[in-house]
Amino acid sequence: MARIVKKFGGTSVGDVERIKNVAQLIKADVDKGHEIVVVVSARSGVTNELIGRAKAINPNPEDREMDMLLVAGEQETIALTAMALHAEGIDAVSLTGAMAGIKTDLYHTRARIVSMNCDEIEKHLDEGRVVIVAGFQGVNDNGQVTTLGRGGSDLSAVALAKGIDADLCQIFTDVDGVYTADPRIVPKASKISEISYEEMLELASLGTKVMQARSVEFANNYNVTFEVRSSFNNNPGTIVKQEVSSMEDVVVQGVALDRYQAKITISNIPDKPGSAAKIFSGLSKANVVVDMIVQNIGRNGVANLTFTVPRDDSARSRDCVRNVLQELGGGEVEVFDNIAKLSVVGVGMRSHSGVASELFAALGEAQSNIQLISTSEIKISVVIDEEGADEATRIVHTAFGLDKEED
């Protein structure tokens, strides 16, 4: 007998038929004698619909009321899932986040989990029930309901797996797992069978499209191994876990392409101490998250600085930089939206050399000009022209031997 946490995302519980299908998946484990805790999201689209309604009524809804509204999405699916299990003759009970003992801090709409009291869940498990917990929600010390940020049901599942010391945590979604590249761009992309938390997080456009980043960070901090798999077929998924030495045999695990960045170049900035600090503190006050930063060596008393920001923030960033430049007494700013960031990721990079040169050779072959480069211990990212970025991704994927074998 094992203790299993099974989390079903919005598409997996998207309608009545799918909820019945989820009940079948749970039943299969109940029949094997396992103890099951289920976490569900709202039906796909429901959270967005509720947000839309709120904004139509009041463009600036209070965060507390927003949470009160959004928890309704998950409350619907826990009850329906329990009913679907009852229809199969399975003893099951639904619990809100608060009833399940998920305690958070005081921040509405993006609360953090501070503690778990799993007594209620344990009691039901002891009595032989399947426990169905509403994802994405908790309760704070003032007894108010809170939500954990978009995609937060993943976090609920991982935290519960830790809280009840589960043997297995399965995240059921609408994809088969994490792939070596986005299969829509790279048809030869293949499913990764095992990946480390760090790689999953670094593969931003692949890994965290599948799962909320905070939940992967939580799993990393508390060492919760989990599996990402599809609820629409029986294929094994991707196991996400702590790094083991055999993972280093694979130098590059995946190639990610991020088209949602813009490049900002500032030229002729007065080259004196404190200039960069002024620019970046201005951006951080404007809540812009800066990614790659490159500064050229100053000449003739001026320097050039280039960095990337989320594309949606490019106009705001430009205005903000202009204001700072006025204060500094010089410099021009230009925004380039037509760029893409391509990254190769793998813990094997720690112990293998030559990854950068192989990447640059592949990009040369793809006729992609490299505009910026940044590296970390397990990742190399380059900014290239958006045009041709898909083709470049395919060529890099092939160069690192990631193409799926023909079957």
Which of 84-92, 149-157, 172-180, 396-404 is the region at the interface with ligand ASP (rule: CB under 6 A)?
Answer: 149-157
Please select the residue that binds ligand ASP; options are 20, 150, 318, 404, rule is CB under 6 A.
150
Is residue 8 at the binding interface for ligand ASP, with CB under 6 A as the rule? no
Query: Residue 94 or residue 304: which is nearer to ligand ASP going by CB?
Result: 94
HEC readout, 170-217:
EEEECCCCCECCCCCCCCCCCECCEEEHHHHHHCHHHHHHHCCHHHHH
Q: Which of residues 117-156 bind Mg ion (CB under 5 A)?
A: 151
Task: Please give the size of the binding site for Mg ion, defined by CB under 5 A.
Answer: 2
The entry of Mg ion, ligand ASP, none near residue 282 (CB within 5 to 8 angstroms by kind) is none
The entry of Mg ion, ligand ASP, none near residue 150 (CB within 5 to 8 angstroms by kind) is ligand ASP
Query: Residue 41 or residue 308: which is nearer to Mg ion going by CB?
Result: 41
The entry of Mg ion, ligand ASP, none near residue 14 (CB within 5 to 8 angstroms by kind) is none
The contact pattern for ligand ASP, residues 151-190, with x = CB under 6 A and - = no contact, is: xxxx------------------------------------
Query: Residue 136 or residue 400: which is nearer to Mg ion going by CB?
Result: 136
The entry of ligand ASP, Mg ion, none near residue 176 (CB within 5 to 8 angstroms by kind) is none
Is residue 9 at the binding interface for Mg ion, with CB under 5 A as the rule? yes
The entry of ligand ASP, Mg ion, none near residue 402 (CB within 5 to 8 angstroms by kind) is none
Is residue 73 at the binding interface for ligand ASP, with CB under 6 A as the rule? yes
The entry of Mg ion, ligand ASP, none near residue 188 (CB within 5 to 8 angstroms by kind) is none
Query: Residue 154 or residue 358: which is nearer to ligand ASP going by CB?
Result: 154
The contact pattern for ligand ASP, residues 250-289, with x = CB under 6 A and - = no contact, is: ----------------------------------------
Residues that bind Mg ion (CB under 5 A): 9, 151
Residues that bind ligand ASP (CB under 6 A): 10, 41-42, 47, 73, 135-136, 150-154
